[in-house]
Amino acid sequence: MKIVGVSGTIVGKKTSILVKAVIEEINSIDSSIETKLLDLREYDMQFSDGRSFELYNNDTQRIIEEMSSADAYLIGSPIFNGSIPAPLKNVFDLVKPSIFRHKVMAFVANGGTYQHYLMIENQLKPIAGYLRSHVAPSYVYANCDHYTEDNQIVNTELLNRIHTLAEEIVHMQKVLRSEQQA
């Protein structure tokens, strides 16, 4: 089983830290699960424009390949102006929608206020629905108060939500896998 975590921004650190925290929890729950962090800050991703796969640069091809080979997804997004950032939307545009069908998709997000969590409900979950993914019932939202000045997650409630989300992802994917093998 392979779970890909996407840090869906090319700026800042908090989203990547949040995605990595969930991935680390997944690994502590079941070390046999392969995990991969796709931190978009580390890729020279081209914009999706309908060209053939071979015509994209190597970094863009690697993103498509990693997403296509995953059994489940952890999507991380900062919230800019009440919305997901363009690089994350671009990832969804690069990958064929059928790749996401019947796979687990979970979400983490971070923003400046407590109210921004609604972006997960109003934007990310509908994307998962369109893609026919199985959405984890929980999600994790963090704001600036949940991090220390050096971007460490210290809020106990947030750490508990991270653990719960990791458990849900692992459980859902194992159940789906067992049903597919039956």
Q: How many CB atoms lie within 10 A of CB 78?
A: 23
The CATH code of the domain that includes 139 is 3.40.50.360
Mean pLDDT, range 42-48, rounded to an integer: 98
- The count of domains in the chain is 1
Going by C-alpha positions, the residue among 91, 35, 101, 34 that lies closest to residue 64 is 91
**Is residue 182's pLDDT more than 70?**
no
**Is residue 159's pLDDT more than 80?**
yes
User: Contact, 61 vs 53, CB < 8 A?
Assistant: yes
At residue 62, the pLDDT reads: 98
At residue 112, the pLDDT reads: 87
Per residue in 167-179, pLDDT (tens digit) is 999 999 999 988 7
Confidence band of 166 (pLDDT split at 50, 70, 90)? very high
Q: How many percent of the chain have pLDDT more than 90?
A: 90
Going by C-alpha positions, the residue among 122, 141, 125, 133 that lies closest to residue 172 is 133
pTM of the model: 0.96
Per residue in 81-103, pLDDT (tens digit) is 889 999 999 999 999 999 999 99
Domain that holds residue 70: 2-181
Mean pLDDT, range 139-164, rounded to an integer: 95
At residue 119, the pLDDT reads: 94
What's the N-to-C CA distance of the chain in angstroms? 16
